[in-house]
A and B are shown apart, each in its own frame.
Chain A
């Protein structure tokens, strides 16, 4: 054999064996180095899950009455993938469907558009769920229509009508509680992405509905329970080859709310009554809120917001038209927890507390002129009344602004006046923080507003945020406005020049305004209720709670939710005592007297403070009535407010009185706890009993709120 042949054979051999070495190293890399990654890819390939959502937990009131329950409803859904395969993208199917559902074709097709696509309406009308999930377009369809849809498959391709579990929001006593309970919506793509690569069987899936607001959102995981999941192994054709795992469903937990359905119903009606009272006086009375809390633990017994809406509207999704009217009515947000309003004179408890803490005498007399003149600005009393020299308690009773102006001015001067820097003391703002203003209360529903405490710190922050704009405007001098209206431009330019230069300064006028809850200070009605509850209970600001316990569907207690203290009032005992002793006088001899004429104040003394907060522009003042009772042994704090509602005592006061009457069982001048709307005259100490079949044991007879065939007991 030639040398050349030998050499080439050797080269060929080496070549082939090096190719084999390549195969081995590649194999090592794929199987040993990266094996885990491919293994999970293989599992994704072959494993399918059949998921049945668990029965969602009920939300019960404090006595065990269901506020939210489940029912079955015939829901019509549309599979968009299948619809697209029909002629004209399924337009004809939609037209036919609209006709038998008595809807317009547009109201169906708008629901099918995924949010963010061209021409899609805004959430929640547009489809926010997964591409592969059928979109519900109608609920509570009558069985006859459902049968028609299911029988004529060719005419209704892609449309399905089937029995589905939906939420039932019609609680007893016509309770609304929309802002407390919240509603469900399809899970969004973002929420799916957020949970990352989770492969736990109770993770969120694209077909899930989840709480979108209120308790439904806050306690969503507990309420949802765990789905039943059957894990199947399939082949490429989707044939089941093996059952790998079966997990039974775990029913969602029940929430035992602190809300009492009957009291809630009373409060909702009384809020509407207050609004109507404002409107009868010729005021717009456009919105309002009412809160009833247990001062001893922060439990929210009732909370209402006006205007409200029917929470059942969300079941099965809303149409564009429904959503537009919801937005227009301004009823989606809760005025009790999200609305921000100037507290007006109800804030004087804060100024009083600050004065007490700073060592000003709470028992001296102070002069109450009709106005205070700072040279640049005049600060007046309500209706420019003057009372001469009066005690501080009396100043609270008659709500004399000028007394508090005087105190605020002294504190402002003591801190250094105009020359104070950002670290100088600011007693009123500090006291406000102590009462919980300016920070969220921590209530167990989402979306709460923090509010704002006007003061030196706020002023500086605000200036730092807006300085650049102010200074830029001061230099440019509003060229656009100047073309048409040079005078206004001059005014704005001067204002911005001043703001640019020393907008951070906490001026004397600011301090005076802040002392009576005007100016930049805004609070939520719930914050105010918690502040008054803190005075009532001797100094503890609780985090308000809407849920007192979580129970499993079989009736065992999962968790009792203990009261949480948010802060304590760091005040001398004498100051709290002073407030506790003075506020009942407002109801007996002061601005809160009128609505309580004839109320058995000797048996149930009521501590209160009215407020008629000024609002910028030429709007009517906000009517506030903040209170707690019995003043000698405090149990409940009630705050009610109506925007553009006039005075506190005329508009909100009578409704607050009515709520106290229902709470304590007042009839004329007699007090009978058995006549209270609360079963047993007080919030239940024990938890409701849930029968083995999952139905709660509700109070008997009329107290159940359910109208029975026999009428009343």
Chain B
């Protein structure tokens, strides 16, 4: 436990800042990454409008076409509060509680296996039933926990300015591999791929020896190939992964999804059909277009112009994440920001890529845009953590 308290100069300055409560409060709002915050809020607003459009027809209760939107907005409110709390955390607290956060997240991750609690959606047993008809996807929180845990483990040797030791490398790898294994059993292929890329990115930026990194990437590629070769992946999983190559030839469900998604997006054209006017969207031809396929709503109703704005907002978000990682004055902050950058970057690419037919179809949401409370909360917490890293670095400048 003791190593989580490893003292850094940044920590000291934070302690100093803590004694000046008033200035700290002013400093928080002044030093906040406003571009990041505004991009995040803009995406959340845009996402809510798209969720509204996609859910009006069938997901809402018959008496209130806004009922699904309202639920979404409650999730957003909770997510913003959690994000604010995350941005108020300090490193010391964070590092101290990382094992607990990790442990609690891992515990939640196992809950879907418990009969009566776990829920299977689209073949993945990755949800927990909550009272009031709500569901929780613990793997979303697990992403944050894995990032925090790996960052903590790999920033251990920061003061000596050397690369992480083999022991740190293996421990960090284990911290990622453990939940990856569980999620693999839960059949949530998409989250496995995202966590895998996040883990590799964090390890890479941590500065581990190049041959370890090459070995890690090689091993990951090899194990995917082996899994396919040895038949460890179920047939439908392979079908999902390969149907995007030639969607017209396959008439199965995932090919249908891919095809309908492309029809919706392609049909939107340059200017789109207008909000609430997309025939594919309003007719629910694209499945789950309020969550995983939300981008098809943007593509069809807002057209190329609207969708470019959406993608650019996401790009701005990631640009800020990259800047925060770059400017972070310590290994820990850099790795946390790097983890968030890789997570949101690859998840965005995979999600939009699958609707455009250039990536296999997996069940992962588009950050900040898709409906789905857990994802919304997790991403806003991640944005909060980015702000924490930024604020830490800002105070270090004082």
Asked whether B304 lies within 8 Å of A27 as measured between CB atoms, the reply is yes
Interface residue from A26, A34, A42 paired with B279 (Cβ < 8 Å): A42
Closest to A12 in B: B201
The verdict on B134 contacting chain A, using a C-beta distance below 8 Å, is no
> Given A2-B207, A12-B338, A12-B342 in contact, is the A35-B279 Cβ separation under 8 Å?
no
Asked whether B285 lies within 8 Å of A45 as measured between CB atoms, the reply is yes
Asked whether B269 lies within 8 Å of A17 as measured between CB atoms, the reply is no
CB neighbours of A16 from chain B (8 A) = 318, 322, 341-342, 345-346, 349
B198 to chain A, nearest CB (A): 11
CB neighbours of A30 from chain B (8 A) = 262, 265-266, 299, 356-357
Alpha-carbon gap, A236 to B267, bound state (A): 17
Interface residue from A1, A27, A46 paired with B334 (Cβ < 8 Å): A1
CB neighbours of B326 from chain A (8 A) = 6, 9, 13
CB neighbours of B357 from chain A (8 A) = 26, 30
> Given A5-B207, A39-B266 in contact, is the A235-B283 Cβ separation under 8 Å?
yes
CB neighbours of B196 from chain A (8 A) = none
Alpha-carbon gap, A447 to B267, bound state (A): 46
Asked whether B315 lies within 8 Å of A43 as measured between CB atoms, the reply is no
The verdict on A19 contacting chain B, using a C-beta distance below 8 Å, is yes
Asked whether B263 lies within 8 Å of A27 as measured between CB atoms, the reply is no
CB neighbours of B348 from chain A (8 A) = 20
The verdict on B307 contacting chain A, using a C-beta distance below 8 Å, is yes
> Given A16-B342, A31-B270 in contact, is the A9-B205 Cβ separation under 8 Å?
yes
The verdict on B325 contacting chain A, using a C-beta distance below 8 Å, is yes
Residues of B within 8 Å of A, CB-based: how many? 55
The verdict on B331 contacting chain A, using a C-beta distance below 8 Å, is yes
> Given A27-B299, A46-B285 in contact, is the A12-B356 Cβ separation under 8 Å?
no
The verdict on A22 contacting chain B, using a C-beta distance below 8 Å, is yes
Closest to A19 in B: B349
The verdict on B163 contacting chain A, using a C-beta distance below 8 Å, is yes
Closest to A47 in B: B279
The verdict on A102 contacting chain B, using a C-beta distance below 8 Å, is no
Asked whether B266 lies within 8 Å of A12 as measured between CB atoms, the reply is no
CB neighbours of A19 from chain B (8 A) = 345-346, 349, 353
The verdict on B57 contacting chain A, using a C-beta distance below 8 Å, is yes
Closest to A36 in B: B269
Asked whether B341 lies within 8 Å of A39 as measured between CB atoms, the reply is no
Beta-carbon contacts under 8 Å, B209-241 to A = 210
Asked whether A12 lies within 8 Å of B331 as measured between CB atoms, the reply is no
> Given A9-B334, A20-B315, A45-B263 in contact, is the A236-B358 Cβ separation under 8 Å?
no
Asked whether B299 lies within 8 Å of A45 as measured between CB atoms, the reply is no
Please classify how large the interface on chain A is, using the bins under 10, 10 to 19, 20 to 34, 35 or more: 35 or more
Alpha-carbon gap, A234 to B285, bound state (A): 10
Closest to A40 in B: B267
CB neighbours of A5 from chain B (8 A) = 205-207, 331, 334
The verdict on B397 contacting chain A, using a C-beta distance below 8 Å, is no
Main secondary structure of the interface of A (DSSP, over half): helix
Closest to A16 in B: B345
CB neighbours of A702 from chain B (8 A) = none
Asked whether A37 lies within 8 Å of B266 as measured between CB atoms, the reply is yes
B305 to chain A, nearest CB (A): 9
Asked whether A46 lies within 8 Å of B280 as measured between CB atoms, the reply is yes
A207 to chain B, nearest CB (A): 24
Asked whether B266 lies within 8 Å of A22 as measured between CB atoms, the reply is no
CB neighbours of B282 from chain A (8 A) = 235, 241
Beta-carbon contacts under 8 Å, A1-29 to B = 1-2, 4-6, 8-9, 11-13, 16-17, 19-20, 22-24, 26-28
CB neighbours of B266 from chain A (8 A) = 30-31, 34-35, 37-39, 41-42
Closest to B200 in A: A12
The verdict on A49 contacting chain B, using a C-beta distance below 8 Å, is no
The verdict on A371 contacting chain B, using a C-beta distance below 8 Å, is no
Asked whether A31 lies within 8 Å of B205 as measured between CB atoms, the reply is no
A119 to chain B, nearest CB (A): 29
Asked whether A233 lies within 8 Å of B346 as measured between CB atoms, the reply is no
A3 to chain B, nearest CB (A): 9
CB neighbours of A241 from chain B (8 A) = 57, 282-283
Beta-carbon contacts under 8 Å, B314-372 to A = 314-315, 318-319, 322, 325-326, 328, 331, 334, 338, 341-342, 345-346, 348-349, 352-353, 356-358
The verdict on B92 contacting chain A, using a C-beta distance below 8 Å, is no
> Given A37-B266, A41-B266, A234-B283 in contact, is the A8-B207 Cβ separation under 8 Å?
yes
The verdict on B395 contacting chain A, using a C-beta distance below 8 Å, is no
The verdict on A87 contacting chain B, using a C-beta distance below 8 Å, is no
A41 to chain B, nearest CB (A): 5
B386 to chain A, nearest CB (A): 14
Alpha-carbon gap, A45 to B284, bound state (A): 11
CB neighbours of A378 from chain B (8 A) = none
Alpha-carbon gap, A6 to B322, bound state (A): 11
Asked whether A41 lies within 8 Å of B265 as measured between CB atoms, the reply is no
CB neighbours of B161 from chain A (8 A) = 2
CB neighbours of A374 from chain B (8 A) = none
Q: Which 6 A-B pairs give the minimum distances between C-beta atoms?
A: A38-B266, A42-B267, A16-B345, A35-B269, A235-B283, A46-B279
13 A-B residue pairs with CB within 8 Å: A5-B331, A8-B204, A8-B207, A12-B341, A16-B322, A19-B353, A20-B348, A31-B266, A42-B267, A42-B279, A43-B267, A45-B279, A237-B284
Further pairs besides A12-B204, A43-B279: 18, Cβ < 8 Å: A9-B334, A12-B342, A13-B322, A17-B318, A20-B315, A23-B353, A26-B357, A27-B308, A27-B352, A27-B356, A31-B266, A31-B270, A32-B304, A35-B269, A38-B263, A233-B283, A235-B282, A236-B284
